Structure 1
């Protein structure tokens, strides 16, 4: 019976029409109750053909007197297939004991390995801790308390796996990825090697999908989510129609705290298609804009060729070296001649390092020199966010309006509209902000500012 159930599960489609199923079941019951003679075109014949289609050899045609008994057994088997629960996964742990509640802690010098019965494995790095909260037939839910885990999830139909780290959740079906969580600074990092995952959390309530080769870094304290590509970071310039090697801030990202400076809107960006490639540096040129020939003799001397790109350093949290190198080159020269990648990375490094003056200049240069690119448009939102966080919500409105006009469907659209709503409430009162709250709830009912919008809608 167990083998029959397994075969039926594999052979019966999951989307059987309910009306058709009910009609065929009624015909089958009627035929059995009448004791109809077995014939190839009758109900028993249809049952025999159905069982043969599932790879089950029957004796209905050869031994008609067994027909009624086998028909009843087949009906019972079908009922068991429907009602019998799928077998729950199990797992074994190597390298550490499993405490009550599924808690597993790796010692400082040892790696711990979890092996599930479907072939999925989890390698827990030394000094890390994880709890297996739930295990079902389709997958498991794990809580990464701190540290790093490497998962290789076996692809299966209807598989459901998740790794929760702090307020974030990584939703998986079948893939290979590494996830790390640092409780001290509230940083999540996901490196996706194969397949795809979705990351959800306070900074991405609607979920951020990742593709193979991408890295996500979410910083709760700064309120920022970044996605970067190792391949793109090593390229000479930004890819056509996509983000540059510097990390692209994602939809739903909240504001980084502590930015200062008071920018005022400059010239509005010229209209352009969202995601235009923009003005990447010419092929063969240096990052500071000088010709490659001028760098050929000096590359070995200054070590520039061997140094990681600014985008890679920002992704690794090395903001200081980016700022130091920009000042060594000459900040004015970088702003005037640097590539789009370098301007974006410099602005990010300055914001995270609390250098609002440098961030403002880099963002302004991005808008001026690359007005039609997605980064040029996003700079309007980032400048508005800096002004807003600096205590000038009224001045920030012009930047939010500029971004929403240039990128109504851009990655910061929800955040820009939500911040505009709050800024209008602070400067003009609840009544003035209510139409924006209604618009926000219509466009982003699950957005980060939805609770504020619902409150504003109250009488």
Structure 2
């Protein structure tokens, strides 16, 4: 039953309670007094939304004071006014979703089997079809929509248009923002390629190669290649629209290597080091032999800083230059910007050995900075994703102790809960589940925590 039907039913109930012998003149006078009171903007008083509403209804004569008989001639107007106010004051309900085609979806993580499609159905009618072999994580869900992380493969979305709806699909360092539309998004993690096929509505794609966001219209395809630093927008029907012609320019100019765009990091937070230091890091000492722009201090000509290259998706040149300069020397004497950018480039290029060394050096040399603290979480996530949940727990604990309100606090606690369940069983994970629900009742791991607390 929609809101209009609810109001109509409420009006019918109010009419049933109106006596047949009501004084028409008195009823007309009461209605006039109601209009006058509303036009004066009668103040809402009392405790809470319903208390304020009751006080206002009494002030305009819609609600009887103690000992008074109700003014039935005005029941209809009062009922409708109450219903409208309740609709306006009642908080929007958080969306929920069901997963089909996979056995489980722990922590919002859905991995489709090699030969079978998985599907998510949200309570507002939105559907997400995950192609065989693809993996996606539902990071956040609220009343307006959801934020999803496509780790690899293809997701086909049909988003139900609603007022104030907000949906996003993040793939690597890119984000596809949408309110209501139908489109496919494909992310190939191995070569850093994003493809968006838009069939209905409109979306905006943001990321290293699109600093200000690239809007797409129905019937368009976007292909972005991080390694080539190129992005192309073409028609879905155009032949050879898979990507830019080899050696030629793209139809939509990619961001220049020195663009100021910040890379989108894990969980949707800005990647550390992609846009310079935070206020907390500004005072960190820079070792001799390096500069803030990532170039050697010998005065030799230098290109864009490492941080800017990472923001532009040029991970390979950062790694190559680090090795040319001497990886050991960079880790021992490089600036905070250098270390963070090197760690980001190595993570995105799937060079786990270099990323681990850079993150460890960041913690050792800059322990009090936000980047130094975040490195603990990133190290934990790396070993966790590598199949060692037990080894990840101490890193999660370290991050939560150093940065309890940090940007990765919810994910660190949720991942710790899952890791403890895997290594120590449900009983060991239940206290963590209770703490998670207390701190993050609508977090991405809330459903997992709730399941752990069931008898």
TM-score, with structure 1 as normaliser = 0.45
TM-score, with structure 2 as normaliser = 0.46
Flag the structure with larger Rg. 1
